[in-house]
């Protein structure tokens, strides 16, 4: 598979531990994590990757301390303001998945502005999951389908896997080929459960702030070659 056809999704874990093991506040770890987002997105563009999806904030993350949630929301805003021009110049088309409920209007406006400004970019599709949970996404999809059944636009006989897929936040995206989780946790944590049933998983020990573009590039090369060998075996 060529990297342009590939979709890599990343659970960016370990910002907190990166900071606390260095005697710093957790928010400093998140700030380092945001810098890492910038360098990994650039690496994705440089390596010719087609789709990159990043898990930035889960529906469960609201349970963190008020200060941490506020800090993360401020960081998302700062990131969008600071990176908008750069993302556009690099040809990165940005989209968001997750529920808009609970996000403040200033953040929603920035998100909408970034999506609008980059809508015609075509080098990399960057999907950022904010206030995202797979079960929440599936539940919202079921709600949308039920409404259509209620109004008679659909019948219950029309409900197929494709119909469900077409009502998810990710309806315009291919399924992820590879899901990476950093920081040595072996969990999926409600990230793309419907979409990743056939994905490969890679669990990296490195924390997200230490996940370098070089490491990312070597994972992409490894995966691409592994996939090609597999293709060759199939053709025998």
Catalytic residues: 13, 61
Taking the least distance from each CB to ligand FPP, the nearer of 20 and 225 is 20
Q: How far is the CB of 43 from ligand FPP (least distance, A)?
A: 15
Decide the pairing of beta strands 178-181 and 7-11: parallel
SS3 label, residue 85: helix
- Distances in Å between the Cα of 79 and the Cα atoms of 6, 83, 229 are 25, 6, 39
* 130 token code pair: 């904010």
∠ CA 44-97-165, rounded to 5°: 100
Q: How many CB atoms lie within 10 A of CB 33?
A: 26
Q: How many helices (H) and strands (E) does the chain have?
A: 7, 6
- Give the shortest CB-222-to-ligand FPP separation in angstroms: 23
Give the interface with ligand FPP as residue ranges (CB under 6 A).
12-17, 30, 33-34, 37, 54, 56, 61, 75-76, 79, 128, 208
Terminal C-alpha separation, the chain: 17
In this complex, which beta carbon is closest to ligand FPP, that of residue 71 or of residue 141?
A: 71
Name the residue nearer to ligand FPP (CB basis): 208 or 223: 208
Minimum distance from residue 124 beta carbon to ligand FPP (Å)? 14
> Would you say 33 or 133 has its CB closer to ligand FPP?
33
Residue nearest to ligand FPP (CB): 16
């Amino acid at each position: 598979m060529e990297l342009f056809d590939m979709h890599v999704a990343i659970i960016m874990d370990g910002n907190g531990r990166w900071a606390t093991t260095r005697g710093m506040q957790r928010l400093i770890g998140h700030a380092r994590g945001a810098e890492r987002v910038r360098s990994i997105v650039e690496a994705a563009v440089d390596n010719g990757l087609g789709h990159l999806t990043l898990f930035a904030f889960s529906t469960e993350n609201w349970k963190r301390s008020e200060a941490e949630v506020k800090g993360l929301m401020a960081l998302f805003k700062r990131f969008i303001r600071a990176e908008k021009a750069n993302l556009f110049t690099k040809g990165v088309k940005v989209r968001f998945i997750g529920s808009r409920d609970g996000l403040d209007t200033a953040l929603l406006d920035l998100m909408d502005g970034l999506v609008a400004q980059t809508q015609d970019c075509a080098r990399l599709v960057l999907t950022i999951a904010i206030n995202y949970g797979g079960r929440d996404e599936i539940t919202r999809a079921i709600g949308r389908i039920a409404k259509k059944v209620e109004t008679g636009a659909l019948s219950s006989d029309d409900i197929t896997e494709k119909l469900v897929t077409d009502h998810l936040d990710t309806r315009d995206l291919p399924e992820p080929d590879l899901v990476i989780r950093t920081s040595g946790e072996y969990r999926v944590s409600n990230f793309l459960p419907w979409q990743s049933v056939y994905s490969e998983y890679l669990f990296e020990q490195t924390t997200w702030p230490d996940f370098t573009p070089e490491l990312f590039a070597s994972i992409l090369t490894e995966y691409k070659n592994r996939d090609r060998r597999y293709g060759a075996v199939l053709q025998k």
